[in-house]
Amino acid sequence: FQEKQYVGFATLPNQVHRKSVKKGFDFTLMVAGESGMGKSTLVNSLFLTDLYKDRKLLNAEERINQTVEIIKHTVDIEEKGVKLKLTIVDTPGFGDAVNNNECWKPITDYIDQQFEQYFRDESGLNRKNIQDNRVHCCLYFIPPFGVHAVRCDRQQHRGGGERAAGQRKAVPLGDR
């Protein structure tokens, strides 16, 4: 008769699951694409919320002169006891200019900065309350028309170099 040894690591997945559900999750979603592509509508529909209620719509002249901005919207969502801190990173002005050379640069720079900050925090001594602001997914809206769009889209996927390429999880969304 041999007694079985019980170490306890078999319950580890359940412990991690309970701890994660209690603490909640962070999820950062970036939306990029020209104005009028349905980014706000999709985000509001996906998460059953109205993140853009205070938004000011720009007229055509204002859009031409607008540069790419990075705007963060954060909302806490709870569903069946699971908490989610959702951060939507919006990129108004992306692809709206007449000259879109390097229009992707502020977006890739932002993504790189968030990854570098997370890496610095993870490498530090106090790692207990690290905020994860990395972009977990980017929904990239591709217009179904025009040579300009294709050129800008190719630059977006090429831009940023090899180091950042592994950090981006872009999901292209198009109408065709």
Encode pLDDT of 20-70 as tens digits.
778 888 899 999 888 778 888 888 888 888 876 776 666 666 655 556 788
The answer to the question of residue 2 being in a domain is: no
Q: Taking residues 106-133, report their average pLDDT.
A: 88
pLDDT number for residue 164: 41
Average pLDDT, the chain: 75
Question: Which residues constitute the domain of residue 117?
Answer: 24-174
The helix/strand/coil state of 14 is helix
pTM: 0.71
Across the strands, what pairs with 96? none
Q: Where are the alpha helices (DSSP H) in the chain?
A: 12-23, 39-47, 60-65, 105-123, 147-158, 161-165
pLDDT of residue 135: 92
Residue with the bigger pLDDT between 84 and 54: it is 84
Reported as a pLDDT band with limits 50, 70 and 90, residue 5 is low
3-state SS, residue 144 = coil
Domain annotation covers residue 122: yes
pLDDT for 118: 92
Q: Is residue 13 part of a domain?
A: no
CB-CB contact of 37 with 9 (8 Å): no
Q: What is the pLDDT of residue 162?
A: 39
- The whole-number pLDDT of residue 61 equals 65
What's the N-to-C CA distance of the chain in angstroms? 68
Find the CATH number of the domain harbouring 160.
3.40.50.300
> pLDDT value at position 23?
82
Q: Is residue 9 assigned to a domain? A: no
Tally of domains in the chain: 1
DSSP label at residue 10: G
| 60-74, 76-90, 115-129, range with the lowest pLDDT | 60-74
Predicted pLDDT of residue 134: 92
